[in-house]
Amino acid sequence: MASEFSAAAPSSVEEGAAAPASGVAVASGPPQDPGREAADRRRERRSRWYRRDVKWSPYAFIAPFFLFFAAFGLFPLLYTGWASLHRVELTAPNDMEWIGLRNYTRLLDDEFFWNALQNTFTIGILSTVPQLLMALGIAHLLNYRLRGSMFFRVAALTPYATSVAAATLVFVMLFGRDYGMINWFLSLAGFEHIDWQNGSFTSQLAVSSIVVWRWTGYNALIYLAAMQSIPSDLYESAALDGASRWQQFLHVTLPSLRPTILFTVVVSTIGAIQLFGEPLLFNGGGGATGGSEHQFQTLGLYLYEQGWTNLHLGRASAIAWAMFLLLIVIGLVSLAVTRWLRRGEGKA
């Protein structure tokens, strides 16, 4: 930060010839001819204006962000906490009745909340772990010198351009019980038709596969970017030591990617906790229940059901804060892991 330009430097250059004391002592001298006085005053005004500009423009530059953030980020965040202590109905959102922590204590006894929490975790693991492992493998392959490498990269990224809605609608058809492509394919291999949507594990697997499909390529490119900044002499010396390609991957690539991997784990975990569109639309026209037995209802979906199907905005707010607390815990854990990794690096 030492390289930031100093606020005073330019003005002293500008004023240097006429008024060395830079705007403070200019007016104190004896009266001179009017033209010169006016010029001095103009210069003084200009330098005062200049200093104000330097002092206040940073705030003007950050103001739009913070104004919007305060109005649509911070205020809603706090107000959600406030609303979670009230009984509020969607039909009359401004009628709030104070009920203390009852929305939270109610959540603790709410089987649907625990179900949604469990589903969120299961789907989160089913989607995040294969996604990141495959992304790592694909990035490794994309890192070779390839003919048409840009084609492979763009192709891997196309699912990212597909919206949740479009992707889920297609996957609902692919996972169809009677005429779906996937069951047809499995039947060729001699499997019975699977009722993906109504099974508990199968539906969670199907929902996860949509997430995996959409995000694997994106993560692969992030890993690829990190791989390309690994100095090649690390590989050369590993090769000299007789390390195979696989050993190079294990002992050179993976350790260098550690910060990036942690970053993608955190980002995908945040995404997994918020999962909403995929399970909503995977239910076809069935609404926010997450399947007939709530078998793939996530926390995000349960929040939506409580607020916008059952009209309990207060309870929805409590679920939102529960999700927030969960994220904070995850954030703290990842911070601890980072610290631990750094310490490991220091020792090595």
- Rounded to 5 degrees, φ, ψ at 132 are -75, -35
Cβ at position 226, least distance to other proteins in Å: 6
Identify whether the C-beta of residue 88 lies closer than 8 Å to the C-beta of residue 310.
no
When the beta carbons of 90 and 125 are compared against other proteins, the nearer one is 90
Q: At what angle do helices 75-83 and 313-347 cross, to 10 degrees?
A: 120
Report which residue type is found at 290: G
Among the listed ranges 26-34, 99-107, 134-142, 196-204, the one in contact with other proteins (CB under 8 A) is 134-142
Residue 265 CB neighbours (<10 A):
17
Number of residues binding to other proteins, judged by CB under 8 A: 123
Cβ at position 253, least distance to other proteins in Å: 9
134 contact partners, CB below 8 Å, separation of at least 6: 212, 216, 220
Cβ at position 101, least distance to other proteins in Å: 17
**DSSP state, residue 30:** P
When the beta carbons of 26 and 222 are compared against other proteins, the nearer one is 222
Kindly write out the interface string for residues 73-92 of this chain, putting x where it contacts other proteins by CB under 8 A and - elsewhere: xxxxx-xx--x----x-x--
Q: Which of 179, 189, 190, 346 binds other proteins (CB under 8 A)?
A: 179
Kindly state the helix (H) or strand (E) to which residue 217 belongs, with its residue range.
helix 200-227
Q: Which of 40, 51, 87, 159 binds other proteins (CB under 8 A)?
A: 159
**Calpha distance 112→189 (Å, rounded):** 37
Binding to other proteins (CB under 8 A) within 35-74 occurs at 50, 53-55, 57-62, 64-66, 68-69, 71-74
When asked if residue 164 is in the footprint of other proteins (CB under 8 A), the reply is yes
Binding to other proteins (CB under 8 A) within 257-286 occurs at 259-260, 262-263, 266-267, 270, 273-274, 276-277, 281, 284-285
When asked if residue 207 is in the footprint of other proteins (CB under 8 A), the reply is no
Identify whether the C-beta of residue 238 lies closer than 8 Å to the C-beta of residue 252.
yes
Among the listed ranges 23-31, 101-109, 194-202, 231-239, the one in contact with other proteins (CB under 8 A) is 231-239
Residue 129 CB neighbours (<10 A):
14
Binding to other proteins (CB under 8 A) within 104-133 occurs at none
Candidates 198, 328, 334; CA nearest to 258 is 334
Binding to other proteins (CB under 8 A) within 306-345 occurs at 307-308, 313, 316-317, 320-321, 323-324, 327-328, 331, 334, 338
**Calpha distance 164→161 (Å, rounded):** 9
Q: At what angle do helices 164-174 and 181-188 cross, to 10 degrees?
A: 40
Binding to other proteins (CB under 8 A) within 3-22 occurs at 3-5, 7, 9-10, 13-14
Identify whether the C-beta of residue 343 lies closer than 8 Å to the C-beta of residue 258.
no
Angle at 37 between CA 35 and CA 42, to 5 degrees: 95
Q: Which of 124, 175, 227, 282 binds other proteins (CB under 8 A)?
A: 227
When asked if residue 141 is in the footprint of other proteins (CB under 8 A), the reply is yes
Cβ at position 147, least distance to other proteins in Å: 8
When the beta carbons of 14 and 110 are compared against other proteins, the nearer one is 14
